[in-house]
Structures are given as C-alpha cells and as structure tokens.
Amino acid sequence: MNKVSTSNKEKLYLDLKRRILTLDLAPGIDLDEVSISKEYGLSRTPLRDVFRQLAGEGYIDIVDNRGAHVSPMDHKTLKEFFQTAPMIYSAISRLAVENATSVQLKELKLVQGRFRQAANKIVVKDLVYFNDRFHSLVGEMADNRYLSISLQRLLVDHARIAHTFYDRKNAKVGNRLKLAVEQHDQMLEAIDKGDAEQAVAVTLDHWELSRSQAELFVNAEPIPLSDMAS
C-alpha cells in the first residue's frame, strides 16, 4: 500500500509540474483537493505534502483557509522576472563551468538531443518541457543552494512565457528555434570546455533571444479600432 501511495505522490508531483509549465493549468487557477485526491488515489495528507513541495519550488501558492492555486503571473511578478533573470542566469552559467561533472554533462547532452527533436517538429509542450529541463540541469551543475532557489522560481515563469516563443502561427518561429538550439549547443560546449566567459556570453545572447519574444507576452499588439467598429 505504501509503495502505491509513494508512486501516486510522485506521479502527482511530476504531473502538476508539467501541467503548470505547459499551461494546462493556467496561472492563478485554484487546485481542487477533492478531485485531485480522487484522480490520483491519495488521501489529503500525501496530497498536501505534494502541494507544500510544489509551493516551496514556486509552482503554486498556498493561502490559509483558501487552499492552493497555481502561482499567478501578475505585473509585479513579470517586472521582477525581467529585472532578475539575466543576473541569475549569468551567475548560474559561470558556476556550472566550475562545478559540472561528467555525469551531468552526459545528461545535459541527452536533454539537448530531446530539445532538438522537439524543435525539428515544433512540438510545443516538449519544447517547453525540455528547455526547462536543460536550464534546470545547468542550475544543478552550478551547485549553489542560494542561486538554485532563485533559478527554480525564474524557470517556472520562463517556461510559461515561452509558449509565445514557440507559437506556430508566427512565421519566424523556425528561425528562432534554430538559433535557440544552436545557443544551447554553444552553452553545452562552453561548459564542457571549461570556458566561463564564453558560457556567460552565450547565456546572455540566449536571454536576449527569449526576452525580445517574451516582452510580446506583456506588450501585446492592440486591437485595431477598425475591427472594434465592425
């Protein structure tokens, strides 16, 4: 029985993370404990254990007497995201060069391969997931408990904003994806070679690529007045 419970807890944890990152669960939406408990065959205690873990990682918020909801993406959150991301990403890259192990590099190469496959087919949910996993692994390489907390919270919102980056309706998506894959390769190569300056430089280029598209998420084109009048 305990094995089943543990397995269901792990499944719930991974499922909720993925659904939040891929916007299957919208920012700010309430999480219904009763329905989730039934779906995963969990009692309230292990369910709330998972919720507390996800809250600690920045995926959800828990409010006393109001339950849990997916972390929102309000104006303050987005402003702080754009202010902080380049500093955190740069520091993480530099430390990753110093501390990466051969085992971590091998895993990073495997994840990059999956990201490349998703890019070739433009499978949005896989792109979001494996891009997030790529940068999470770089964070694990950095091995800094203070920065890792900040990075994890950044990546939650970065993944959710990234849906605009991978929008099939945008004619430029193929060129952006090709460049993103190349920059991942360059970051991986810089870490593998122990070149901290190159790793930071590519990381900032990669951030600029993401930032320019992510800002469209915040500054959407207005509806033409002619359309509103018709």
pLDDT band at 219 (very low <50, low <70, confident <90, very high): low
Residues pairing with 30 in the sheet = 69
pLDDT higher than 70, residue 221: no
Identify the pLDDT of residue 190.
98
Distances in Å between the alpha carbon of 148 and those of 88, 153, 183, 197? 9, 9, 22, 20
**CB-CB neighbours of 103 under 10 Å:** 8
Joined tokens for residue 67: 């339950």
Residues 138 and 155 in one domain: yes
Same domain, 28 and 43: yes
Q: Are strands 60-63 and 30-31 parallel, antiparallel or unpaired?
A: unpaired
Q: Are residues 81 and 55 in the same domain?
A: no
Residue 115 scores a pLDDT above 60:
yes
The verdict on residue 105 lying in a domain is: yes
Contacts 24+ apart (CB under 8 A), 85-89: 85/154, 85/158, 85/207, 85/211, 86/204, 86/207, 86/211, 88/147, 88/150, 88/151, 88/154, 89/135, 89/151, 89/154, 89/203, 89/204, 89/206, 89/207
Can you read off the two tokens belonging to residue 4?
A: 């089943």
pLDDT at 79: 85
Q: How far is CA 127 from CA 13, 85, 148, in A?
A: 20, 20, 22
Sheet holding 60-63, edge to edge: 30-31, 67-70, 60-63
| Residue 55 shares a structural domain with residue 153 | no
**How much is the pTM?**
0.78
Torsion of CA 220, 222, 228, 230, to 10 degrees: -90
Distance, in Å, from the CA atom of 220 to the CA atom of 198, rounded to the nearest integer, reads 33
Banded model confidence at residue 223, pLDDT cuts 50, 70, 90: low
Lowest pLDDT segment from 42-46, 84-88, 98-102, 207-211: 207-211
Q: Which two tokens stand for residue 199?
A: 């790793």
Decide: 191 and 104 in contact? Cβ < 8 Å.
no
Q: In terms of pLDDT, which residue wins out, 24 or 99?
A: 99
Looking at residues 2-12, what average pLDDT do you find?
72
User: Which CATH number goes with the domain that contains 147?
Assistant: 1.20.120.530
pLDDT in tens, 131-173: 999 999 999 999 999 999 999 889 998 888 877 666 655 546 7
Most confident of 65-69, 76-80, 88-92: 88-92
Number of domains in the chain: 2
Last residue of a domain, one of 70, 100, 130: 70
58 and 168 both lie in a single domain: no
The CATH number of the domain where 15 resides is what?
1.10.10.10
Could you tell me if 66 and 79 lie in one domain? no
Q: Does the pLDDT of residue 63 top 80, yes or no?
A: yes
Whether 228 is covered by a domain: the verdict is no
Find which of 20-29, 107-116, 174-183 is predicted with most confidence, using mean pLDDT.
107-116
Instruction: Flag whether 230 is in a domain.
Output: no
Instruction: Tell me the residue range of the domain where 196 lies.
Output: 75-218
